[in-house]
């Protein structure tokens, strides 16, 4: 009887461990970030790298998206989006505050969605 109970407990623990979402140390992520030029690229990538856990960040002006490799145990895509929005660039997850957007150089003033 003890063996049966032990087997059932071990099975339940094994199932619950497998059901949990695993966080990756090298997760590839991409999302939209508004911007125009090389100055935007430097600002966006610098903001992304300021988040602990970002291993790689490349923003592409022609597509308006950022490609990231992050350690999900240290940060999330939302954390990176907030950091980018804080320097004036809207993302698909977070909109930049008007005062941050207004600090951008005139060539960096992208068309904001209402």
- Give the phi and the psi of residue 59 in degrees, each rounded to 5: -100, 135
For 23-70, the pLDDT digits (tens) are 778 999 999 999 999 999 999 999 999 999 999 999 999 999 999 999
Distances (CA, A) of 103 to 7, 38, 65, 75, 106: 63, 16, 21, 27, 9
CATH fold of 23-108? Alpha-Beta Plaits (3.30.70)
CB atoms within 10 A of CB 59: 23
The pTM assigned to this predicted structure is 0.79
Is residue 94 within 8 Å of 82, Cβ to Cβ?
yes
Beta-carbon count within 10 A of 88 CB: 25
Integer CA distances (angstroms), 95 to 15, 47, 73, 80, in order: 40, 15, 25, 12
Q: What is the pLDDT of residue 25?
A: 84
């Amino acid at each position: 009887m003890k063996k049966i109970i032990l087997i059932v407990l071990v099975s339940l623990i094994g199932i619950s461990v497998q059901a949990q979402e695993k966080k990756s140390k090298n997760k590839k992520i991409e999302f939209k970030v508004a911007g125009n030029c090389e100055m935007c690229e430097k600002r966006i990538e610098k903001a992304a790298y300021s988040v602990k856990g970002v291993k790689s960040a490349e923003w592409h002006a022609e597509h308006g998206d950022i490609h990231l490799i992050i350690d999900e145990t240290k940060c999330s895509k939302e954390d990176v989006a907030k950091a980018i929005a804080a320097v004036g660039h809207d993302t698909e997850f977070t909109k930049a505050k008007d005062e941050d957007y207004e600090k951008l150089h005139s060539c960096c003033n992208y068309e904001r969605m209402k």
